[in-house]
Structures are given as C-alpha cells and as structure tokens.
Amino acid sequence: MLAVDPWSREGWLRLAAAAADANLLETAVFAWENLVSLASQDRNAGLELVRALLKLNRYADAVTAVEVILNHHSGDSEALSLLRRASIDHIVEKGKWDSDGSFRDKLCD
C-alpha cells in the first residue's frame, strides 16, 4: 500500500499497528512519526507516537511529541498525563536518580 501511495494515512496506520503488535517498536515509531507528519492534528496518532517513544525510553523525544499534540489540543487530559510521565522519566534518566549511590554523589554530578 505504501509502495503505491507513500502519503497514504491508512497505509501508515496499518504499518504502525502491525509493528506495535509484533513488538517492533522502532518501526512503529517510524510509522507513527510519518503519520503525524502527514496529519499533525491527528490526536490519536500523536498519542500513539508518544506511547511508543516512552516504551523505547526516548523521553526527550516523547516530551517534544506530546507538546505538538498540546499545541493543537491544549486541554487534552491524556496528553497532559503523558507529558507528566515523559517529563518525570526524562528527569530521572538525565539525573540518574534511579541508579545506586548516595544522594550527595548524585548532586555532585
């Protein structure tokens, strides 16, 4: 389908769903990114992209993706929830707060 029409929203949607079902998360992210680029106001595609990015521990990318959703749907409670989750996970990862070591050692870094 995508070979015939690379701008097919249905084709990208099917690829994303099939990749997610097969646990091919990088492929799913690729498909969701393309779907979002074709229709930036598609809330569901944006949310699925954020969820896939979170599964890959790509927290900074997830924050960026959810901010795009919030630009179009500012009061979306699900998007706000994902933004909180992505932000917290990004801070924990960046500050290495989930690693072993003392609090003092973590503050020194």
DSSP structure string for the chain: -TTT-TT-HHHHHHHHHHHHHTT-HHHHHHHHHHHHHH-TT-HHHHHHHHHHHHHTT-HHHHHHHHHHHHHHSTT-HHHHHHHHHHHHHHHHHHHTTTSSS-HHHHHH-
pTM value? 0.80
9-108: in CATH 3.40.50.2300: no
Ranges of each domain in the chain? 9-108
Give the pLDDT of the chain (109 residues) as one tens digit per residue: 888 888 889 999 999 999 999 999 999 999 999 999 998 888 999 999 999 999 999 999 999 999 999 998 888 899 999 999 998 888 887 766 555 566 555 555 5
